[in-house]
Amino acid sequence: MNLRLIRNATMVVEFAGKRFLIDPFFAEKESMPPFPNTPNQDRANPLVGLPIAVEDVIDVDAVIVTHLHPDHFDEAAINALPKEIKVFAQNEKDAGTIREKGFLNVEELRTTTLFEGIELIKTSGQHGRGEITQFTGEVSGVVFKHPDKQSLYIAGDSVWCAEVEAAIDTHQPEVIIVNGGAAHFLEGGPITMASEDILAAHQAAPEAKVIVVHMESLNHCMLSRDELAGILKEKKIEGNVLVPDDGEWIVV
Ligand SMILES: [Zn+2]
């Protein structure tokens, strides 16, 4: 499979001959305010621009939207994507919201959804720990399976939790994409993976390639690529846990 990080959680996934766009977030650099009640209120979102033109990102067979937070599905993406494109949403509520934006071919991800010979298995996660999840809401991930291919697990906006551990145990993916950055509100712990969550994901699947995205794009993400790279190096796992730059392809 070929994976390209675009920016934040936006990725292009080439899997079993099909191209998927994950969590399209196309806003121009600094065109959105900082998230409220978060650190770094002097920094507008997104912190960085897209590494390539939107037109070069949207030529895909399907789009998967893990949840509807604006750093995963935004107005710029709504405007850029062709309305007939196949879109998978995490549940009927999100599917309805996406349809209201004019999309004509929206499908709710079920436990297992078959798309062009590829099994898409919906997983869940925790967008933070404790009370804050009442505010952050429901999130999802997806496992890609094909009889002839290595499997891929995209964990989505989740911290390390029982649901993510169960997905790894059940599906034994060879490639795992986690959302790092350790995003924070002013109160409460991280709502995306901090370094210890990423290390836990590696320990649960030491043979797998763990790819960390959702880095250095938003005002409230507190874990930098450099800091994480230092930790990975110290643990001597920088060959197993990859931290791509925006625009970088990873061939697995
Ligand atoms: Zn996010």
pLDDT, residue 3, reads 98
CATH of the domain at 179: 3.60.15.10
- What is the tens place of the pLDDT at every residue in 145-185? 999 999 999 999 999 999 999 999 999 999 999 999 999 99
pLDDT, residue 74, reads 98
pLDDT, residue 169, reads 98
| Å from CA of 71 to ligand 1 middle | 5
| Å from CA of 130 to ligand 1 middle | 18
**HSE (side-chain half, CA atoms, 13 Å) at 158:** 27
- What is the tens place of the pLDDT at every residue in 94-145? 999 999 999 999 999 999 999 999 999 999 999 999 999 999 999 999 999 9
Average pLDDT, integer, range 210-238:
98
| Å from CA of 147 to ligand 1 middle | 31
In a domain, 30, yes or no: yes
In a domain, 65, yes or no: yes
| Å from CA of 135 to ligand 1 middle | 13
The Cα–Cα gap between 240 and 187 comes to 32
Cβ neighbours of 117 (radius 10 Å): 11
Q: Strand, helix or coil at 8? A: coil
In a domain, 121, yes or no: yes
| Å from CA of 184 to ligand 1 middle | 11
In a domain, 188, yes or no: yes
Range of the domain at 120: 2-246
Query: Residue 50 corresponds to which amino acid?
Result: L
In a domain, 102, yes or no: yes
| Å from CA of 138 to ligand 1 middle | 12
The encoded tokens of residue 169 equal: 């145990």
In a domain, 252, yes or no: no
Q: How many domains does the chain have?
A: 1
In a domain, 69, yes or no: yes
pLDDT, residue 233, reads 98
Cis peptide before 147 (omega within 30 of 0): no
In a domain, 66, yes or no: yes
Q: Which residues surround ligand 1, an ion (CB under 5 A)?
A: 71, 157
pLDDT-based confidence at residue 40 (cuts at 50, 70, 90) = very high
pLDDT, residue 46, reads 98
The encoded tokens of residue 1 equal: 């499979």
